[in-house]
Structure 1
Amino acid sequence: MQARTRTAMLVGVAMAVLAAVGVPAAFAPPAHAMQAITDIAYAPAQPAGSRGHLLDLYQPTTGITPRPLLIYHKGSAWTSDNGKAGADAIAAIFNPLGFAVAGVSVRSSAQAVFPAQVHDIKAAIRWLRANAATYNLDPNRFAIMGDSSGGWLTEMATLSGGVTALEGTVGTTGVSSAVQVGVAFFSPTDFLQMNAQNLPTGGLDHNSPASPESLLVGCPIQTCPATVAQANPMTYVDANDPPLMFLHGQADFLVPHGQSVLLYNRIKAQCGDATFVSVPNADHMMVQIMDPAHHGLQTVRTTTDCGESVGTGTLNPTWANFATFLRGGLKMGTSCEVAYATGDWDGAFNGSVTIRNTGTTPIDGWAVTWTWPGDQKITTAWNGTVVQTGNQVTARDATHNRYIGPGSSQSFGFSATATGTNAIPAEFKLNNIVCTRVSA
């Protein structure tokens, strides 16, 4: 199928699609210009004419490049080959934050049984990484997000990096399929325990030969435990996995809340890195998970390096907090300070910029941007690569100073000419987040 390119203002279209991902229109961000390339074939269609090997790519039209990538797949109980649907609404949220967004489809369980779906998502990741330079993507900063069976796919991709048996031979090979961070909503994690965890009021019969899980693996799940184990995200947990956030409603009628409890306990036992947000009174919908009426009531469990913290009412399920989590996992920084100083002489000046990581996660690779308020033009720079286009300036690390640990700083300097006043830029951004300016 032919890829189609379009440029759009995400207003009416995104508003209409927000409902499809369980996000009310009240949560919609302002309109934002983007470029959409749709129906990209990351592998040949299988079967012919199907949609399971297509992806849509949404890019901001401005901002720093290369961009981090958020891969999105909408759940369907594995019954649809159009999991990329709704990614334009996710792009409406994350494009303005500097992320590219890829909506990825995989084959349905009617078209192919497990592990085909995992082979497909890994093939899409490999294709995106192999073509990162073409689309201005940062190949070292791939995140993934999904709900329900899309959450399952998110967890499988996040937890099974390097598992050769799940790579498959679909599409592009010889490229890493790893992601650096994941966010999953109400995912199944251990199929054989789902019935026992159903709500007292009932739930799906997951042991049925016609259940979504049985159709996925191609056999009634209680009759093929070895195959089921290979399809459980729980199976692939180890201490080296990327950070994973998962959210689950305590009133989930379709996928029991206990599935996320099991996963969290396994990650904690393996000394992994996980954040589990448990939302009271929420069913199997993102709109209920994110409902502000539940804010302050959720239980948040975090485990890192065999330690654990548990709190109530912390980390409200909001797009802003999801973005902060993704940025931390991608080592982009979550908060920063900038100190700016100049030494002037007739018609020219030297400038120094010190950036401090005030977040709790490291920054690995940085770009600082600002806009000159006057007629300043940079002529040389040190400890950084500085490019100016018009009044817009981008300063990147010089490799040796790319890492900034929590509480640590890096500096760079430059010489420039100035005509007229030489006012301080109004705003500095570090990897697309606004920094607090402090005295030098």
Structure 2
Amino acid sequence: MHARQRTASILGMVMTMLATLGVSLALAPPAHADQVITDIAYAPAQPAGSRGHLLDLYLPSGGITPRPLVIWHSGSAWSSDDGKAGAADIAAFLTSRGFAVAGVSVRSSAQAVFPAQVHDVKAAIRWLRAHAADYQLDPNRFAMMGTSSGGWLTEMATLTGGVASLEGTVGTTGVSSALQTGLAFFSPTDFLQMNAQNLPTGGLDHDSPASPESMLIGCAIQTCPDKVALANPVNYVDSNDPPIMFLHGQADFLVPHGQSVLLYNKIKTSCGNAQFISVPGADHGLSFVMDPAHFGSQTSYTTTNCYGTTQGGSPNPTWDTFANFLRGGLKMGTSCQVSYATTTWSDGFTASVTIRNTGTTPIDRWALTWSWPGNQQVTGAWNATVTQSGTQVTARNDSNNAVIGASSSTNFGFQATYSGTNAMPSEFRLNGIVCTAVSG
């Protein structure tokens, strides 16, 4: 009896640690989102009075619309039905970069066993996509992030698009639950190998009937391997999956680092698209894997189109790195150049604009924005739809030039009037990022 009580006490403390460390941040966040809508029910509560079918939305006032969306779920060892907690801190970093953020809760393992948690997050994705127009979200640019068990949920949601058995019937149906990219932190994958992968100094007994993994599956995991296999994101990997980034500390005491190694190796052999950042000396928590003390010591493993590369010391695990990956996965562009040339006459001019994608990922649909330094007024355009409000101008792609491949370019033109000076705009932004400007 005493041994069982002690084990339960230790597991309880571990679950608390998982919940706390999973959402702790490495840096103090900047100002929060401009609009916050809390406790949106994406499905009826189950059981009544529970929080597992609620989400919060954080919307920026600036940036392009419709907005790309990042869904967030905090880790808790599956012990909490309040996984949307912590999304405010994440939103503080991402809304300033033009992303909308949705903090999503799912049912705890005490309320429902697997696959209920996957059914829930897919229901939330379907609800958000069905209501995208209401919140100016881009239904074709949905990403997900999460820590620990939230990272597991991110990997499951990202890698199981189109898997009918994991859709469920919760909430809104008949809408796609697919994600376009995912970003996971220190996530479990193959529960059956966790004990063998524990650090030499020890770790959680994942095989225990009272372990978080056993509680999620509903049985002591070594006694029900077939059920456990269904909860392993590695088993759903194929070459058609969206790009995914995941990070893991090599000194993780709670979720062994080898769990992410398994996932990366499977994606690589399946000719998928992934980036795995391995951080030496880092334990379990965002504050550990993002600790600047580790910058330059991490190793990044990248696999694309059946070809893998290894890079030491770069990129550093920062919010800029994460935002850059999300932009690439969402096909928004990560770097660009704009060439601008004009032909003028007494009170008007025509402009030729060339957009070059200088990044390594394609851009699918674009909006180029700038502000006039004078009183220029656009009167017509070709190869783009150009609108102006005050001095603010937005050019959006036509159907024939929506996609700009890596190291490729497209162009459009417009006609405008002016008086006085007709200086070139000082800054161009493509889907929210600043481009290098070149005068033609």
Q: For the superposition of Structure 1 and Structure 2, which TM-score range results when normalised by the shorter chain?
A: over 0.9
1:22 aligns with 2:53: no
What is the alpha-carbon distance in structure 2 between the residues aligned to residue 301 and residue 127 of structure 1? 34
Hey, what's the Cα distance between the residues in 2 that align with 1:191 and 1:222? 9
- Map of 1:38 onto structure 2: 38
Instruction: Name the SS for the 1:340 alignment partner.
Output: strand
| Aligned twin of 2:114 | 114
What's the CA shift string for 1:331-365, capped at 9, x where partnerless? 11100000111111122111121100000010010
The answer for the alignment partner of 1:79 in structure 2 is 79
Distance (whole Å) between structure 1 residues aligned to residue 290 and residue 32 of structure 2: 22
Paired residue for 1:426? 426
How many angstroms does 1:419 deviate by?
2.3
Q: Does 1:312 align with 2:317?
A: no
Cα pair distance change 1:32/1:149, threshold 3 Å: closer
Counterparts of 1:220-299 in structure 2, within 5 Å, are 220-299=220-299
- The root-mean-square deviation of aligned C-alpha atoms, in Å, is 1.2
1:8: which partner in 2?
none
Match of 1:70 in 2: 70
Q: Deviation per CA, 1:162-195, whole angstroms, max 9, x where unpaired? A: 0000000000111110001111000000000000
How far apart are residue 290 of structure 1 and its match? 0.5
Query: 1:133 aligns to what SS in structure 2?
Result: helix
Superposition deviation, residue 25 in structure 1:
3.8
Query: SS where residue 398 of structure 2 aligns?
Result: coil
> Which residue is 1:212 aligned to?
212
Q: Is the 1:19–1:25 Cα contact (8 Å) retained in structure 2? A: no
User: Shift of the alpha carbon at 1:155?
Assistant: 0.2
For residues 275 and 188 of structure 2, the distance between their equivalents in structure 1, rounded to whole angstroms, comes to: 16
1:227-256 per-position Cα deviation (integer Å, ceiling 9, x unaligned): 100011111011111111110000000000
Partner of residue 156, structure 1: 156
Q: Does the 8 Å contact 2:21/2:286 carry over to 1?
A: no
Could you give the per-residue CA deviations for residues 81-119 of structure 1, whole angstroms, max 9, x where no partner exists?
111111111111111111111000000001110000000
Deviations 1:54-104 (A, max 9, x none): 000111112210011001000000000111111111111111111111000
Please state how far the C-alpha of 1:19 moved relative to its aligned partner: 8.8
Letter of the structure 2 residue corresponding to residue 185 of structure 1: F
Map Cα deviations across residues 380-412 of structure 1 (whole Å, 9 max, x no partner). Answer: 111001111111111100111001011111111
Q: Distance in 2 between matches of 1:336 and 1:305?
A: 23
Contact between 2:42 and 2:171, CA under 8 Å: does it hold in 1? Answer: yes
How far apart are residue 24 of structure 1 and its match?
A: 3.5
Amino acid in structure 2 at the alignment position of 1:23 = L
| Pairwise CA distance, 1:33 | 5.2
How far apart in 2 are the matches of 1:192 and 1:417? Answer: 69
2:22 & 2:249 partners in 1: Cα distance? Answer: 18
Q: Where does residue 145 of structure 2 map in the other structure?
A: 145
**Mapped partners of 2:40, 2:26: distance in 1:** 28
Q: Could you tell me how far apart the structure 2 residues matched to 1:24 and 1:318 are?
A: 9
Residues 141-168 of structure 1, C-alpha deviation per residue, up to 9 Å, x if partnerless?
A: 1110000000000000011110000000
Letter in 2 for 1:131: H
2: CA distance, partners of 1:279 / 1:20: 16
Structure 1 pair 241–20 and aligned structure 2 pair: CA distance change class (3 A) = closer
Separation in 2, partners of 1:359, 1:311: 18
TM-score after normalising by structure 1: 0.94
The alpha carbon displacement at 1:32 in A equals 5.6
Distance 1:91 1:377 in 2: 36
Q: Does the residue aligned with 2:245 lie in a helix, a strand or coil?
A: strand
Conserved? CA contact 2:42–2:54, under 8 Å: yes
Alignment-mate amino acid for residue 302 of structure 1 = T
Q: What are the equivalent positions in structure 2 for 1:250-399 lying under 5 Å apart?
A: 250-399=250-399
Contact 2:185 2:286 (C-alpha < 8 Å) held by counterparts: yes
Structure 1 segment 128-207 matched on structure 2, within 5 A: 128-207=128-207
Change (3 A) 1:242 1:433: same
Aligned to 1:10: none
**What amino acid is aligned across from residue 171 of structure 1 in structure 2?**
G
Any stretches of 5+ residues in structure 2 without a counterpart?
1-19
Judge conservation of contact 2:268–2:306 (CA < 8 Å) in 1.
yes
Superposition TM-score, scaled by structure 2 size: 0.94
Q: Deviations over 1:308-341 (max 9, x none)?
A: 1012101110110111111111111100000111
Runs of 4+ more than 6 Å apart: none
Distance 1:308 1:20, change over 3 A: closer
1:439, distance to aligned residue in structure 2 (A): 3.0
